[in-house]
Structure 1
Amino acid sequence: MLAAATSFFSRTAISQSYNIGSSGSGSGSRSSTPGPSRTPSTQLPVTSHTPSFHVGLWRVQSATHKVTNKRVSVWLFEKKVLDGDKSMASGRDRVIDALKAEASALGRLRHPSILEMVEPLEETRSELIFATEPLLSSLYLSIPSPTLSTPLVELDEVEIQKGILQLCKGLTFLHTSGRLIHSNINPETILINSSGDWKLSGLGLTIPLSGPDGKPTRWTSPMHDRYMPTYVQRSFDFMAPEYALDERLVTASDMYSLGCLIYAAHSKGNPPFKNHNNLSSLRDNAGRALPNMERFDPDLRGLLTSMVTRHSHERPTPEALPTYPFFSSLPISTLNFLDRSTFASKSREEKITFMKGLTGVLERFSEGLRTRKILPSLLEEMKDTHLLPYILPNVFAISTSLSSGQFASLVLPSLKPLFAVKDPPQNMLTLLENIALIQSKTDKGVFREHVLPLVYNALESEHAVVQERALKVVPDLCETIDYAEVQGVLFPRVAVVFTGTRILSVKVTTLQTFLAMVKTLDQTSLTQKLVPLLSKIRTKEPAVMLATLAVQEAMGLKVDREAVATLVLPQLWTMSMGPLLNIDQFQRFMSVIRKLGERVEREHNQHLRDSQRIEDRSGTNGIVSVPNAGLSGSLDFESLVAGAQNTAVKPDSILENGKGWDDDVWGSIFNSASEPPAIQSPTLQPQHGTQSLTQSLPSSPRMQPNTSSNSVLSRPMGSAVATPKIAPPTSFYPSTMITTPSQTSNWTHPHASQSTAISAQQSLQASVIPPPGFSSQHPFQPQRPNYNINFTPSLPLTSTPAQVTPAPSMSLLSPSVPVQQWGAASNKKPTKDDLRDFDPLG
């Protein structure tokens, strides 16, 4: 309970309002101050939490506001650190007072180059805490050195130059407006924020130029207390010599310290002189030449020589420092022009000229500087739509080096509103040119929801150049987005452009897009949508004809042979007759037509050979006439073995009750008269006062006749065969087969009678005519059978009261129900619905 109560009373407003923590490991300081040891960590993106690090006694951690999600850096000092070191116990109160003074000065002084305080200082029994703008590192932790293998922020020459100029602005503010001398400029009191800007801090030791009464501040000799942390004392390595020699306070002392800072930034953190925290060493090094100057370029040597001098009046002021040649490089001038305070005052023409030239200069900046400094400024200027065509190329040039997470959090929110904007068209062109980059940096769902509408809007644009640009990105999209999106949304929109445009270049580009989409679309979409769409082309321009030919050729190699023969080739023949084609173009058509025709011939020949092989195999593998065969045609083993020697291949027929024509009718008719079989009585239907013997017979799709040379059914189609009249024995027509007209009232539908099967016997002589159209050349090409076989006895039947002759219009083998055909010979005319136009987009 005591611990809980202590924890409750030690809570601050900052800890209650912010989620404090970092995604990286804790970082220590290179100084001798207490705290966790520093683990070097690589530079993190500006969009994520940075590692915690130490600035002297302060531990700096990333934090996010619980309501607004605003990012800050929380500075925390735990008082127990002083209790653990007995040497600091005596100066505990002075240390805490110095830390409080530093935080209070930050809250009091406001300038873009001074560290910005967000939450004021709060004190509890165990800690001091306040919050500032989000930070990445201190300069001390970003200068490579033997003790620091990996800096928190990687600095290049341009970033160092830019940071020094920012510090000059901060010193100008301190010296003129604040009437203060910083007096403690060193790498640990310079902070780098999340935008890469350098900020002044460590203001707890500032010296006012005048007191409250207006009189100059009295000089006090600086002394180093070895029982106090070095962070709350001035660094003698960066202190101007006048502190020890002239005993007076001047603002030029800060320029000497700034010169030592520039030297250390180019010398792995080492200052020009080591003064070992005593005034005597400071006096000895005053006026000495700077060491190792030969490794610096001339502009840097001239700058350091003018700043690190014995006499203060020889040093440049903060206002005059930017005029030195060291800061005259093009990248520095670019950053100065892009600075928020100056760029807003430029005219639109100046901004456009600047944006055009920026693309060629970007490669001279480091990746971190482009991301942290240039990109935010460009995104802020995107509010002006007239500048977008010139800003976007620079934004995408920087985005190439961003991770997907950085792009999604930094760039994509600013681009989303542009995907639905159609004017000016230059914006859409720039976005379409970089759509591959956008797709590689965004998730599939986000791309479909926010980026694809850009392509759809571009296809609907009134500007032909925008439509052509959109059509050129479609092929790549077909390979990366879902097939349902391609078939259901993208392809119909391209088809609308194809049918609606009257611009030749757009027409050709659309056909080129179709050509690329052939490999994505399935056969159904190609035959039912794309082929009808191409058939509606009315222009005879050779460019359109040849582009269409390429699409048809690609489709002809993908769809089946029936579609090629019935859909593709007819269109190609029609287009090949175009009046504007020259001989080379016509030969191109002929080449494709021959190529596709050979494919159809080759594949269809193979299909016919395979079909014949299957039919022959089925004829030799037991498709036989067995009385016990069921409806499915399957045979049991016993029946197959018993009847294998005396059976013949029978045609396909409809069976009832497991029996066919072979078993009942034709077997008894053509057997010898001495062995009359018992058969079912056929139904006799009188017509015009006569009686005709009509056997119900369903039409069969195909018949396989006996191949005996003596069989009339094996003769070729169209051979002339006489129809002799025969005199069958009196037992041929049993009395039970004769019906009188009075018995026809019991007539039933022919299909209701019991079906019979035909079995052609080798003993059959030339007494019947083979059905017209009957052919055994190919079993899978059915033809309409005609079973008109007339049996006219030469002698009257003596066993029956009347002579029976078949009716002229009905024969023994005539189908009971007329076969319905579709085509010119059909009585039923096609309806409007049967002939309706196909809608390829339906």
Structure 2
Amino acid sequence: MFSSALKSFSSNINSNYTVISSPTSTSGPWKIHDGKKKSTGKAVSVFVLDRKSLDSHSGSLGRSSAASMKRATEEVVDRLKKEASSLARLRHPNILELVEPVEETRNGGLQFATEPVTASLAGLLAEKDEEERPGGRGGRSSRFVTEDSEGGRRRRELEIDELEIQKGLEQLSKALEFLHDHAGLVHGNLTPDAVFINAKSDWKISGLSFSSPPDGSTKATSVQPINLSEALNVDPRLPRSVQMDLDFCSPDFVLDSNLNVGADMFSLGLLIIALYNSPHISPLQTNSSVSTYKRLFTSSSTIPSAGNSFLSSRPIPKDLTTSVLPRLITRRPAQRMTAKEFQQSAYFDNILISTIRFLDSLPTKTPNEKAQFMRGLSRVLPSFPKSVLDKKVLPALLEEMKDRELLSLILQNVFKIIELLPSGRRPFTEKIMPRLREIFLPPSNSKGPVERDLVKEAGLMVLLEHITEIKNNCSGKEFKDEILPIIHLAIESPTHSIVDASLRSLPIVLPVLDFSTIKNELFPVIASVFSKTSSLGIKVRGLEAFVILCGGTNDPAANNDGLDGIMNANASKKSSSTALDKYTMQEKIVPLIRAIKTKEPAVAVAALNVLRQVGGVADADFVAMDILPVLWSMSLGPLLNLKQFQSFIELIKSLSSRVEAEQTKKLQELSGANGSSAAQNDDFMSFGGTNAFGSTNGGAEGGEIDFERLVKGNAGISESTNSMDAGWDAAPHPQHPNPLETRTQNQQRSPGPPQVQRHLPSIRTITQWGH
């Protein structure tokens, strides 16, 4: 027990990999678990064989039977070890790649690690059968469910359309060609359980536990030949998954006891029929019985042929039924096509398969061939199934991006794929965004100025042209963290076309960003480039960017700011949520415009649009003291034509009207707050009203009235008022009537305290009176 425990603890896979406890799929006796290497995070698939699944019946057998069962189980374990060790020796793009060699587990089982696989072909076909059954999946949760990058659970995209089948069959035939012609081996048990689909949607061959050199082979190999009679002797005590599957077996094995490479081609023909059949099973149903198999071959009606539609319940493509299957499902091995001939058949003669072939061989092509391929690829991309675009074409293109000379051409196709996919967010964030950051942003530890890279700039231009697709396929945080630094790089580029494209992208970029990011990260970069550039074109584009940053638009039809009382319908489209605040407009943008030295009309008109936008939100006094002087100065530019001058004058008038209206309103409010006396103080010699010369009693009159109001009420006020009126009007000079009386004859006297009704006479009136 201690030895077994020690063996488990010293397991390379258990020590160096994090393995998900529940399997994601199964294939034959193997349970397949997702895993990641702890040191690198690289994804793998871990194949695990539970020993208990092999000897579960041994406990009910007698002693001799139990011993026999143990020997049979050991033989199966040795055969499955052979399967994993064969993967280590056979290195080919279409044979499952081994990452960690086979090792024993604590309970005597086996495990090994391979490249990530999505499912076996058998599991995929079983899933399709379940979908096609009446009632669908019957409520059972799919075995092919995984978590996405945001923590949500989604169904794995497992497709088996025509192109997937064509591509997969060609890949299987390439693997068989390698086994037959180079490794000198017969696979021996080519079934859907022996085919795996990896994360790139490629079909890979495995299941090599019955592989063997063909009879009469002279090629040197370390693989021991199998005993056909023993391999065909089905042991009912063992699971069928660890024994040769007679349903996909060639008559060369069962009827002739002959090991030859043509047997694999017969099995390939049966597998093709299973792909189209419903349910997806072999047309030969032997029930694991050799006698049943032999009986099927005694009648032509039970042998798949063109005459009985190859015993498929669904139609098979014509190219297969006319030229391929008749040369695979044939009794004599010499009449069967080879794996190489299969690849050259008319079945694969179409543009999509040819494109996949070229894509697979892209690293071997010349730069000119690669460039021509990339230019034409966008025309055929819409014809590909979405799953092939996502899992096959897109990863191949991203891998090829290491060739910087092809960067712009590859990016055009990459964004075309994102546009075609029904849900491009996941592939964009998981696959494309990390590559963009890696390519365009300098390493964090780099120092000094980055050298100009024309190839990278061409790629950057393609990225800016597709900024809408980028925005639509990532969150605001992802855009800010991953894409905004690239846009900053573009704005600061020494290439004017790059700067121009980046500034033109602002209407798309701004709605994704929050106010703080716009003000503190994006605006300073644009302002810096604007103030430093010597290009009039960039100057104009920078001013147009300021219009956008201030919540406006550069559409001439939408530039009506409403100051003239006519609000354009497009004004409602302006988004204040993306505009800078008033302080930044007044204190940052207007000084930049004031500092413009050029008299170029295009710059002046662009500045006019900015000032129109700022003037709509700035304070009235700021408009009067800061904006209008700038507008007047620019309006007198010697290069402006009449129409441009009139545009300045129209804005000057509208802003001046706004200042006038606001100032008038302000003064009217102040007048109302100070009482009606403010309206009568028109004579600047009145010195402020009734107290112009000061009161001899220190203001006692007002104090006395207030006091009388307090202690006597209205009666006291009335008496006091009458008394004072009498005092004013008593004993006038007969020849000099009272001038105050004359002055106020036509004035309606309102009730209230005398100090509100009366005003001291002016200096001129007093002089006349005294005279």
TM-score (norm 2): 0.73
Give the deviation of 1:202 after TM superposition.
Answer: 1.6
Q: Give the equivalent residue in structure 2 for 1:597.
A: 656
- Residue 110 of structure 1 aligns with an amino acid whose one-letter code is L
Find the aligned partners of 2:765 and 2:390 in 1 and give their Cα distance: 97
Structure (1 or 2) with the greater helix fraction: 2
The DSSP-based 3-state class of the residue aligned with 2:264 is: helix
The DSSP-based 3-state class of the residue aligned with 1:295 is: coil
Taking structure 1 as reference, are residues 103 and 116 closer, same or farther at Cα in structure 2, changes over 3 Å only?
Answer: farther
Q: How does 1:667-706 map to 2 (within 5 A)?
A: 706=755
Q: Give the equivalent residue in structure 1 for 2:112.
A: 130
Work out whether 1:232 is the aligned partner of 2:242: yes
Find the aligned partners of 2:584 and 2:193 in 1 and give their Cα distance: 69
Deviations 1:415-455 (A, max 9, x none): 22333365222122122233454455556566545533322
Which 5+ residue runs of structure 1 have no aligned equivalent?
27-50, 649-669, 672-703, 725-764, 768-842
Which 5+ residue runs of structure 2 have no aligned equivalent?
132-136, 145-157, 443-451, 552-578, 679-689, 718-726, 729-752
Give the deviation of 1:206 after TM superposition.
Answer: 2.0
Q: Contact 1:209 / 1:217 at 8 angstroms: preserved in 2?
A: no
Give the deviation of 1:710 after TM superposition.
Answer: 5.7
Taking structure 1 as reference, are residues 270 and 596 closer, same or farther at Cα in structure 2, changes over 3 Å only?
Answer: same
The DSSP-based 3-state class of the residue aligned with 1:234 is: coil
- Residue 101 of structure 2 aligns with an amino acid whose one-letter code is P
Find the aligned partners of 1:373 and 1:639 in 2 and give their Cα distance: 100
Work out whether 1:62 is the aligned partner of 2:4: no
Q: Give the equivalent residue in structure 1 for 2:98.
A: 117
Deviations 1:390-435 (A, max 9, x none): 1122233345656666544433332223333652221221222334
TM-score (norm 1): 0.67
Find the aligned partners of 1:223 and 1:577 in 2 and give their Cα distance: 103
- Residue 543 of structure 1 aligns with an amino acid whose one-letter code is A
Q: How does 1:504-515 map to 2 (within 5 A)?
A: 504-515=536-547
Give the deviation of 1:539 after TM superposition.
Answer: 3.6
Find the aligned partners of 1:639 and 1:20 in 2 and give their Cα distance: 96
Give the deviation of 1:7 after TM superposition.
Answer: 5.0
Work out whether 1:383 is the aligned partner of 2:402: yes
Give the deviation of 1:183 after TM superposition.
Answer: 2.0
The DSSP-based 3-state class of the residue aligned with 1:208 is: coil
Q: Give the equivalent residue in structure 1 for 2:362.
A: 343
- Residue 136 of structure 1 aligns with an amino acid whose one-letter code is T
Find the aligned partners of 2:651 and 2:345 in 1 and give their Cα distance: 73
Q: Give the equivalent residue in structure 1 for 2:333.
A: 312
Q: Contact 2:471 / 2:512 at 8 angstroms: preserved in 1?
A: no
Give the deviation of 1:138 after TM superposition.
Answer: 0.2
* Match 1:567 to one of 626, 634, 638: 626
Work out whether 1:332 is the aligned partner of 2:353: yes
Q: Contact 1:244 / 1:283 at 8 angstroms: preserved in 2?
A: no
Q: Give the equivalent residue in structure 2 for 1:517.
A: 549
* Match 2:318 to one of 298, 307, 313: 298
Q: Give the equivalent residue in structure 2 for 1:103.
A: 81
- Residue 346 of structure 2 aligns with an amino acid whose one-letter code is P
Q: Give the equivalent residue in structure 1 for 2:294.
A: 280
Give the deviation of 1:602 after TM superposition.
Answer: 2.5
Deviations 1:338-361 (A, max 9, x none): 11xx22221111111112222233
Taking structure 1 as reference, are residues 563 and 219 closer, same or farther at Cα in structure 2, changes over 3 Å only?
Answer: closer
- Residue 760 of structure 2 aligns with an amino acid whose one-letter code is S
Q: Give the equivalent residue in structure 2 for 1:76.
A: 48
Taking structure 1 as reference, are residues 559 and 96 closer, same or farther at Cα in structure 2, changes over 3 Å only?
Answer: farther
* Match 2:374 to one of 355, 358, 382: 355
Give the deviation of 1:272 after TM superposition.
Answer: 2.9
Q: Give the equivalent residue in structure 1 for 2:764.
A: 720
Taking structure 1 as reference, are residues 325 and 492 closer, same or farther at Cα in structure 2, changes over 3 Å only?
Answer: same
Give the deviation of 1:15 after TM superposition.
Answer: 5.0
Find the aligned partners of 1:59 and 1:71 in 2 and give their Cα distance: 17
Identity of paired residues, percent?
A: 32
- Residue 383 of structure 1 aligns with an amino acid whose one-letter code is K
Q: Contact 2:190 / 2:248 at 8 angstroms: preserved in 1?
A: yes
* CA-atom RMSD in angstroms: 4.0
Q: Give the equivalent residue in structure 2 for 1:588.
A: 647
Find the aligned partners of 1:429 and 1:55 in 2 and give their Cα distance: 47
Q: Give the equivalent residue in structure 2 for 1:146.
A: 129
Find the aligned partners of 1:474 and 1:361 in 2 and give their Cα distance: 32
Higher Rg: 1
Give the deviation of 1:217 after TM superposition.
Answer: 8.4
Taking structure 1 as reference, are residues 211 and 291 closer, same or farther at Cα in structure 2, changes over 3 Å only?
Answer: closer
- Residue 407 of structure 2 aligns with an amino acid whose one-letter code is L
Q: How does 1:187-586 map to 2 (within 5 A)?
A: 187-210=192-215, 220=229, 222-268=232-278, 269-277=280-288, 278-284=292-298, 285-286=302-303, 288-289=305-306, 290-292=310-312, 295-302=315-322, 303-339=324-360, 342-399=361-418, 401=421, 406-420=427-441, 422-424=452-454, 425-438=457-470, 447-448=479-480, 450-519=482-551, 520-586=579-645
Taking structure 1 as reference, are residues 212 and 575 closer, same or farther at Cα in structure 2, changes over 3 Å only?
Answer: closer
Find the aligned partners of 1:211 and 1:98 in 2 and give their Cα distance: 26
Aligned length: 633
- Residue 200 of structure 2 aligns with an amino acid whose one-letter code is S
Give the deviation of 1:255 after TM superposition.
Answer: 0.7
Taking structure 1 as reference, are residues 306 and 435 closer, same or farther at Cα in structure 2, changes over 3 Å only?
Answer: same
Find the aligned partners of 2:672 and 2:369 in 1 and give their Cα distance: 82
- Residue 116 of structure 1 aligns with an amino acid whose one-letter code is E
The DSSP-based 3-state class of the residue aligned with 2:461 is: helix
Find the aligned partners of 2:759 and 2:675 in 1 and give their Cα distance: 21
* Match 1:641 to one of 682, 692, 710: 710
Find the aligned partners of 1:464 and 1:133 in 2 and give their Cα distance: 46
- Residue 373 of structure 1 aligns with an amino acid whose one-letter code is K
The DSSP-based 3-state class of the residue aligned with 1:136 is: strand
Q: Contact 1:99 / 1:232 at 8 angstroms: preserved in 2?
A: no
